[in-house]
Structure 1
Amino acid sequence: MKRNLLAIAIPALLVAAGANASIEVWNKDGNKVDFYGRVKAANNITDRGQVGEGDDTSARLGMSGQTQITDSVTGYGRWEYEAKAGKNSDNEVRYAFAGLNFGDAGSFDYGRNDGVLKAITAYTDVLPQFGGDASNNDWNVLSARTKAVATYRNNNFFGLTDDLSFALQYADNGDNSNGFREDAIRGESREAWGANVQWNIFDTGLTAGAGYAQTSGSDNRQSTWAGGLKYDNYNLYLAANYFQSKFKDVLSYGPTHRGTYKTADGKVRGFELVAQYGIDLEVGRITPSLAYVQHKVKADGVNFVEDNIRYHNSGFSSPVTKYVSLGATYDLNKNFSAIVEYKFNLLDRKDYGAAKNTANSRGEGTKPGTKDVLGVGLIYQF
């Protein structure tokens, strides 16, 4: 019976666990509570004002818990808060959700949680300091943390195999923003839904995953699909993912003097590659890391109506993100790490991403963000 309860509880804790270590503060009568936290003291060094430059120090504190309800049902919850101590000093509730785990029947939870596509884009979100470009942006639907999401997960395909898992998700006006229209800046949000599936290919260490998500409605609709592969075995980690987001009527130029308007459809395509290898030392473990990231935005064309005549102009294509990353993580033990990462910025001055990468995020009155960045830091976690 106890092994049965563990089989039910462990998947919930895997969803809830966000740190490499935690402190168990309560474990009695089927109730368990863990606390975890992290302090990262880091700095991004470059010779030109760019987004994310300078102090990147932050602290996180989280709690995960579970309670046995019946022999086959377990309740669980997670809360995590982050306070940034850098120049922006922004604070954020990263996670706040609760749910029920029904064993082989799967689990259901609701609250602020990862978007369903992050399970795929996170394959390459493992760099020492940078990375996460496909996971944490406004281009992709349900690929970052978002509010008001209801998620169903099944980690063993109804008890038939531990190698196959899937998830379904609905966002009730979650943070599903359109990068062109700057919905995130205006605080707007929309309904969305999505799904993913992952296959652990037998005992090879290879995992394949794919997912799809889209916002609701016919106007300004946005959709994203993503696919990825990762290999984690014998101290070697290799990962790759590819995504594509489509936007309908994403650029709106407003009415002209003749009462007409202009709109454009767009796409963002990107791929990310990561290779890491862990080396055990006499004291701790060092993991060198190499990555290549490239995302490109493309407007299929600009359509505008004037005097009831529809015109079509050619669009544009430009990189949003393009860099090579070389770095390493030195884990002195499970609680303390040192990180270093050098980002070779491959953006040109005229690229769309160079303008977005400037300190004011628009590229107005500043030089294009095309400079390399060195990130260094120390991390304590429990």
Structure 2
Amino acid sequence: MKKYQLTALISMLCLTFAANSSIELYNKEGHKISLKGRVKAMNYLTDQNNSNDGEGDKTKARIGFDGHTKITDSITGYGRAEWETKTSGTAVDTRYAYAGIRFSGFGAIDYGRNDGIVKGVISYTDVLPEFGGDAGNVNRYLLSKRTSAVLTYRNHDFFGLVDNLRWTVQYADNSSDTKVGNLKKGPEAYGMSLDYTIGDSGISLAGVYTQTANSNKFKTWATGIKYNANDLYLGALYISSKQNDSDIKYSGYEFVAQYGIKTELGQLTPSLAYIRHQDKSANVSHKNLSEYIELGATYDFNKNIKIIIDYKFNLLDKEDIGAKNIEANTKDVLALGIMYQF
């Protein structure tokens, strides 16, 4: 690792400052618009040089807005848009762009670019300071990433019959974002998820199933459990995909543990996780796509600013399919950063 990089980052992490709360742009006559954003100043360090894509500057900036408008006492319209850009490039990524209507006692329905329905279960373990999220943003699991052209219906108490039971149904048009496995283009797809919190126990359970609408169906299912109470967070995820009439199959599991420690200046949250995903297709040897132990922490000075340290103990061998015979993909990685958000 380059000493000057490490020195510069440690100096940056020592800088803290007070921050303002979220920005409310407009709130009048039942119509509200709020602005939100963040800057994550981040650098990855390994024992490789900067030509390795896994090392160097990973700074990102994000900006977006939420809007709500009252139609009647029981009907509300809403919309969200959000964009992100990296300092290492000029492209702007549209993260979210959707609009919908919420009906009191009935639920909410929206359309646009939104999270795939599987991300709700993935979120149980996608809580690491920097790494993690290996089950999302990939083409191995259907509707596991942000997706364009999705119609989503959500109900948070099953029509008032069951408290803490969240039911979601989603349909995705044939967008390129839904491409999975060896399918050359994104097919139509649909799915359903259930998420239930057991009273005040802090325990939540979730499950999801998705499949494509074509004849050679690609299916994904996942289940998760988490405990979030008394400053302790524990989460576990299992996810699997399979294509009919094909030997293509993927699976993975993730475990995470975190504990919040309050201090005079804020809260320190250490994090420990184990992640493993495999290509279990019959013709694949050295099946690991990703495997690592994560050890890290965040220090939240307040709700607006935090410092981040995260270390990935990479367990891949260079023969593993996830390394693609590139030695750099088997290296440990240290992430150091600071994030301001509003």
Tell me the CA shift for residue 143 of structure 1: 1.1
Task: Choose 168-177 or 45-54, whichever is displaced more.
Answer: 45-54
CA distance in 2, matches of 1:289, 1:367: 27
Tell me the CA shift for residue 374 of structure 1: 0.3
- In structure 1, which of residues 344, 351, 373 is the aligned counterpart of residue 320 of structure 2? 351
Query: Unaligned regions of 5+ residues in structure 2, if any?
Result: 1-19
Tell me the CA shift for residue 178 of structure 1: 2.0
- In the TM superposition, 1:134-145 aligns within 5 A as 134-145=135-146
1:120 maps to which residue?
121
Which whole-Å deviations, capped at 9, do the CAs of 1:235-265 have from their partners, x for residues lacking one? Answer: 111100000011246xxxxxxxxxxxxxx52
In structure 2, do the counterparts of structure 1 residues 40 and 333 end up closer, same or farther at CA, with 3 Å as the change threshold?
same
RMSD: 1.7
- In structure 1, which of residues 84, 87, 96 is the aligned counterpart of residue 86 of structure 2? 84
Tell me the CA shift for residue 159 of structure 1: 1.4
Residues 76, 99 of structure 1: 8 Å contact kept: yes
Residues 286, 319 of structure 2: 8 Å contact kept: no
Residue 247 (str. 1) matches residue 248 (str. 2): no
Tell me the CA shift for residue 89 of structure 1: 4.3
1:334 maps to which residue?
303
- In structure 1, which of residues 207, 225, 228 is the aligned counterpart of residue 224 of structure 2? 228
Residue 96 (str. 1) matches residue 97 (str. 2): yes
Tell me the CA shift for residue 151 of structure 1: 0.2
2:24 maps to which residue?
24
Tell me the CA shift for residue 24 of structure 1: 1.2
Tell me the CA shift for residue 334 of structure 1: 1.0
Residues 237, 275 of structure 1: 8 Å contact kept: yes
Larger radius of gyration: 1
Residue 375 (str. 1) matches residue 306 (str. 2): no
Which whole-Å deviations, capped at 9, do the CAs of 1:180-221 have from their partners, x for residues lacking one? Answer: 56x5xxxx32211011001101110000000011112123x3
Residue 297 (str. 1) matches residue 279 (str. 2): yes
CA distance in 2, matches of 1:334, 1:134: 27
Question: Once the two structures are aligned, what percentage of the paired residues are identical?
Answer: 51
Residue 277 (str. 1) matches residue 277 (str. 2): no
- TM-score, L = length of structure 1: 0.81
In structure 2, do the counterparts of structure 1 residues 171 and 346 end up closer, same or farther at CA, with 3 Å as the change threshold?
same
- One-letter code of the match for 1:292? Y
- In the TM superposition, 1:76-225 aligns within 5 A as 76-86=78-88, 88-174=89-175, 175-180=177-182, 183=184, 188-219=185-216, 221-225=217-221
- In the TM superposition, 1:40-51 aligns within 5 A as 40-48=40-48, 50-51=52-53
CA distance in 2, matches of 1:211, 1:78: 24
CA distance in 2, matches of 1:240, 1:150: 28
Query: Unaligned regions of 5+ residues in structure 1, if any?
Result: 1-19, 250-263, 302-314, 356-362
Tell me the CA shift for residue 323 of structure 1: 0.2
Tell me the CA shift for residue 23 of structure 1: 1.3
Tell me the CA shift for residue 53 of structure 1: 2.5
Residues 38, 341 of structure 2: 8 Å contact kept: yes
CA distance in 1, matches of 2:182, 2:306: 37
Tell me the CA shift for residue 142 of structure 1: 0.7
CA distance in 2, matches of 1:59, 1:380: 10
CA distance in 2, matches of 1:297, 1:104: 43
Which whole-Å deviations, capped at 9, do the CAs of 1:150-194 have from their partners, x for residues lacking one? Answer: 00000111012331111000001131122456x5xxxx3221101
1:33 maps to which residue?
33
SS of the residue aligned with 2:327?
coil
CA distance in 2, matches of 1:71, 1:161: 23
- TM-score, L = length of structure 2: 0.90
Which whole-Å deviations, capped at 9, do the CAs of 1:251-306 have from their partners, x for residues lacking one? Answer: xxxxxxxxxxxxx52111100000000111100111000000001111135xxxxx
Residues 173, 189 of structure 2: 8 Å contact kept: yes
In structure 2, do the counterparts of structure 1 residues 116 and 180 end up closer, same or farther at CA, with 3 Å as the change threshold?
same
SS of the residue aligned with 2:140?
coil
CA distance in 1, matches of 2:171, 2:143: 9
In structure 2, do the counterparts of structure 1 residues 57 and 179 end up closer, same or farther at CA, with 3 Å as the change threshold?
farther
Tell me the CA shift for residue 368 of structure 1: 5.2
Tell me the CA shift for residue 90 of structure 1: 3.5
Tell me the CA shift for residue 22 of structure 1: 2.5
SS of the residue aligned with 1:137?
coil
CA distance in 2, matches of 1:50, 1:292: 24
Residues 242, 250 of structure 2: 8 Å contact kept: yes
Tell me the CA shift for residue 367 of structure 1: 3.2
SS of the residue aligned with 1:299?
coil
SS of the residue aligned with 1:354?
coil
